Structure formats: C-alpha cells, structure tokens
Amino acid sequence: MKTYLANPSGYCQGVSRAIALALSFKKKYQDKPCYVLGALVHNETVTSELNKYGIISLTEKISNVDKIKKLPKGAAVIFTAHGHDKKLEELLKSKDMVYLDATCPIVELSASNIKKAIKDGRQVIYVGTPNHPETVAMLSIDKEVYLYQDLMDDMKSVIKDKTPFVSSQTTLSTYELEDIFKKIKEVIPGAIFQKEICQETKIRQAAVKKLPNDVDAVFVVGGKDSSNTKKLYELAKKHFSTLKIFYILNEHDIDPIKDKLKGCLKCAIISGASTPLTETMKIKVKLDEIW
C-alpha cells in the first residue's frame, strides 16, 4: 500500500523536554526508587520505555495524594508534563522527597494566565476535558476556577463576574473551541477569551486538513489517553467522513484490522504529539509492505 506521512511527526517540544528531564533526573538519583505521578506523557510505549530505565509510572485511577501516601520512603518523584496541583510539592517536601516538575512550559504559561486573572479578582471558566490531568491542575489553582462543563446548565448563577476570564486546555480542537466560546459569549457577552491551544497541537490539526484527498484510509497514531491524538482522530473522522479512519498505538494493531484494509491502495498516517517517531515509522514500513 502507498503511504503518506503527515508533517510534523514525532514528539512536540514539551514531550521531548519532559522525557529528557525525567531521564536525567533518574540518573541523578539513581539509588532512589523513581515514580511518575501518572503517565509522564500519554503514550503507552513511552511509559514502558521509561519503566526499563527504572522510572515507574503510577497510572492507577486514584488521586495523587493517595499515590504519594503509598510511596516508599526516600522516593524520587516526577510530576507529569500536563501540570499538577502545586500544593503536592509542599506535601513531598514535608516527606523529604525529591521531585522533578516536568510540566510543559506552555501549560505553565496557561496556568500563570489563570493565576493573573484570579489575582485581578476575576472568575475563571476553564474549557478542558474533565479529569484530564491538565484540567485537574488548572482547577486546583483556585476555587474561582470553574470547569465549563459544570456550568453548562446554569452559568449565570455561578459566574457573577461580568468579564470572566475564559481559558482552555492546550490540546483541544481549535474548531470545537470556537463553538464553545461562542456559546459562552451568548450568556456572558463581556467574557474575555484566551485560547491556550498550543502551536504544536494547532500544526498537527492543520496537517489533518492537508492530507491528500485521494487516500482510502487514515491512521491516527497515539496513546489511548492522549488528548491531542483523540482530537486528531475526531478531526480526521469529520474531515474525511467517507474514509476508513483507524486509531492505533503501534504496528501490532494493524494485523487485527487487516481485513478492513482490503481494497485500500493509499493511506495517510498522522501521529499525536507524544507518539515516538520510531513507532510511526514502524507502522509506515508495515503498511508499505502490506501489498
């Protein structure tokens, strides 16, 4: 099958940085057991690679406080690229634990914009995926930061501010966000919007639209919890509504769907910001060899 690889492919800057920081942190504290409070970045291949270096990801669906309670004495702890409740740093300090903050600087910038709005006495509406670590981190900044989804039924009874600050998760879909901002504006015309979708997310979403029109199938490559990959998948389904669109993690996911590929002569491959380029290339090679 002929394959077309979308540009860009491979890690975004925030993911590359988080992985490099985690590896050097582990090297520095090589005698300590090392844990990540969640998945450093949302890709299962990366998680298992880090595990080989002795960096263990705590991906159990419990709170970070409960994860910290279970840590052995003297553990070295890593906060993920998605941001975290800064109060947890105090908790680790009180337990004499060393830690690394691998938060992406772009997520950090988004957090500081929210902090500034709070300092200015504003209420904040946050548009993000419920329970995603970035959303959890932003909501932890202050009790006056409200999740948009929680306000949908009765925004006016909670948001008394005539000019609330509206922020968003860095990996949302630009197209989806426009609609949400419009809806908020209808209820609160003075709302001030700050689109925090990062450039790396934007260029990958734009790349979906630039995929060749003559493909028969599109492969979206990424981890199952990767927010930006999920948005690429939704966008591909919307933009290529008559094509076969597959969400896969690695080349092993191709065998079970081989039957569905019968008749496909050309396909496109696009990957999320936390997908290793090596995995995407293995997929390309496998698809190239199918027929």
**Residue numbers of the site for ligand SF4 (CB under 6 A)?**
12-15, 81, 104, 106-107, 170-171, 198, 200-201, 228, 273
Cα(79)–Cα(100) distance, rounded to whole angstroms?
A: 6
User: Nearest approach, Cβ of 256 to ligand SF4 (angstroms)?
Assistant: 29
SS3 36: strand
> How many angstroms separate the CA atoms of 233 and 235, rounded?
5
One-letter amino acid at 110 equals: S
Cβ-based nearer residue to ligand SF4, 64 or 274: 274
Q: How far is CA 39 from CA 60, 97, 118, in A?
A: 10, 19, 29
Task: Select 123 or 229, whichever has its Cβ closest to ligand SF4.
Answer: 229
CB of 12 to ligand SF4, least distance (A): 3
| CB count in 10 Å sphere of residue 181 | 18
User: Cβ closer to ligand SF4: 3 or 9?
Assistant: 9
Q: Which of 90, 108, 134, 176 is catalytic?
A: 134
Minimum separation from the CB atom of position 175 to ligand SF4 (A): 17
Task: Give the torsion sign (CA, 265, 268, 274, 276).
Answer: positive
CA angle 179, 185, 190 (to 5 degrees): 150
State the sign of the Cα–Cα–Cα–Cα dihedral 23, 28, 33, 36.
Answer: negative
- 274 Cβ contact partners less than 8 Å away, ≥ 6 residues apart: 11, 12, 15, 41, 42, 43, 46, 222, 223, 226, 228, 229
Q: Which is nearer to ligand SF4, 109 or 285 (CB)?
A: 109
CB-CB contact of 98 with 118 (8 Å): no
In angstroms, the CA 132 to CA 225 distance is 9
Query: Taking the complex as a whole, how short is the minimal distance between the CB of residue 262 and ligand SF4, in angstroms?
Result: 35
Nearer of residues 50 and 267 to ligand SF4, judged by Cβ: 50
Cβ of residue 14: shortest distance to ligand SF4, in angstroms?
3
- 134 included as an active-site residue: yes
Q: What amino acid positions are annotated as catalytic residues?
A: 134
